[in-house]
């Protein structure tokens, strides 16, 4: 059995976040394990409460995973600098296990999830542990404190994250004008990944992408193959999404 652990924050409607990532992992024919680092109350329009868990509770959950043979980690939204430090410490218990970090700083509707101290902690403590770091344009801009608006900007940003310690960085360009283009940088290469735009919108695409990459890496896939497979899964999810609670969500199926 392939076990993939997702680490992050709950969303009561599972548009995204910890439960959504666990559903995505399970639908990908792997066993999800969870480390709860925070709890939110939010709906399709706003965040009404956000509470990080104590570092001791996060550490205890990582210890509880020690017998599970976790093959990869997906890390999503974290709500405090202390939570980030606790997650980084927990991941040190699992050297060599792939870690896909999706650094969520705000909810889809714009409400803040991570303050400046949390953002800085992700940059300093979590980025160097990332097998792959997957910010979108706004997140990349926030981390690097400069506008990221073009493919050239994305190439420079992806390289900057690798230079700062990530093994690889995938800058997601879904909000670019024109055809969406992602940029992948590793320590040796940089590539532009373009695809036609799919009509429609969907909540949770960042978590779906990152969790799918983590699951593929857990099975021993190359990073390139894992990213290709995840991008195709997100594309299909956008095409086949279903309405739920005033938004559109993924209809999970096992990708090919």
Q: Is residue 133 part of a domain?
A: yes
Distance CA 100, CA 171 (A): 13
Quick check: helix, strand or coil at residue 119?
A: helix
Residue range of the domain that includes 178: 3-249
Residue 256 has pLDDT above 50, yes or no: no
Strands 190-194 and 181-186: antiparallel
Q: Is residue 117 part of a domain?
A: yes
Quick check: helix, strand or coil at residue 78?
A: coil
Q: Which CATH number is 229's domain given? A: 3.40.1190.20
Q: Is residue 121 part of a domain?
A: yes
Counting residues of the chain whose pLDDT is more than 70, the rounded percentage is: 98
Number of other residues whose CB lies within 10 A of the CB of residue 147? 11
Q: What is the pLDDT of residue 255?
A: 47
Q: Is residue 254 part of a domain?
A: no
Q: Is residue 255 part of a domain?
A: no
Q: Is residue 34 part of a domain?
A: yes
Give the list of residues 6+ apart from residue 133 with CB closer than 8 angstroms, or none: 101, 103, 127, 161, 166, 168, 169, 170
Distance CA 146, CA 111 (A): 20
Distance CA 249, CA 245 (A): 9
Strands 242-244 and 3-10: unpaired
Q: What is the pLDDT of residue 138?
A: 93
Phi, psi (deg, nearest 5) at residue 37? -105, -15
Question: Please, what sign has the CA dihedral across residues 233, 238, 240, 245?
Answer: positive
What does pTM read for this prediction?
A: 0.95
Task: Provide the domain count of the chain.
Answer: 1
Q: Is residue 170 part of a domain?
A: yes
182-239 pLDDT, tens digit per residue, is: 999 999 999 999 888 887 778 889 999 999 999 999 999 999 999 999 999 999 998 8
99-144 pLDDT, tens digit per residue, is: 999 999 987 766 788 999 999 999 999 999 999 999 999 999 999 9
Residue 248 has pLDDT above 70, yes or no: yes
| CB distance 12 to 39 below 8 Å | no
């Amino acid at each position: 059995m392939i076990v993939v652990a997702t680490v992050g924050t709950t969303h009561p409607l599972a548009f995204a976040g910890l439960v959504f990532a666990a559903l995505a992992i399970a639908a990908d024919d792997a066993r999800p394990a969870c480390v709860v680092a925070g709890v939110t109350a939010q709906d399709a329009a706003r965040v009404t409460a956000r509470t990080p868990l104590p570092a001791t509770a996060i550490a205890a959950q990582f210890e509880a995973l020690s017998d599970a043979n976790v093959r990869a980690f997906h890390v999503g939204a974290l709500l405090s600098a202390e939570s980030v430090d606790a997650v980084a410490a927990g991941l040190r218990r699992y050297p060599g296990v792939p870690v896909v970090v999706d650094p969520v700083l705000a909810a889809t509707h714009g409400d803040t999830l991570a303050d400046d101290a949390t953002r800085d902690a992700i940059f300093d403590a979590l980025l160097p542990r990332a097998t792959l770091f997957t910010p979108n344009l706004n997140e990349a801009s926030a981390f690097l404190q400069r506008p990221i608006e073009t493919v050239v900007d994305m190439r420079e940003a992806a390289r900057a994250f690798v230079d700062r310690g990530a093994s690889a960085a995938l800058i997601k360009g879904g909000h670019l004008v024109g055809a969406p283009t992602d940029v992948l940088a590793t320590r040796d290469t940089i590539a532009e990944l373009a695809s036609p735009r799919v009509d429609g919108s969907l909540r949770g695409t960042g978590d779906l992408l990152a969790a799918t990459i983590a699951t593929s890496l857990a099975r021993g896939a190359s990073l390139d193959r894992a990213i290709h497979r995840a991008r195709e899964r997100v594309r299909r999810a956008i095409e086949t999404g279903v309405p739920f609670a005033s938004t559109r969500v993924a209809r999970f199926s096992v990708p090919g």
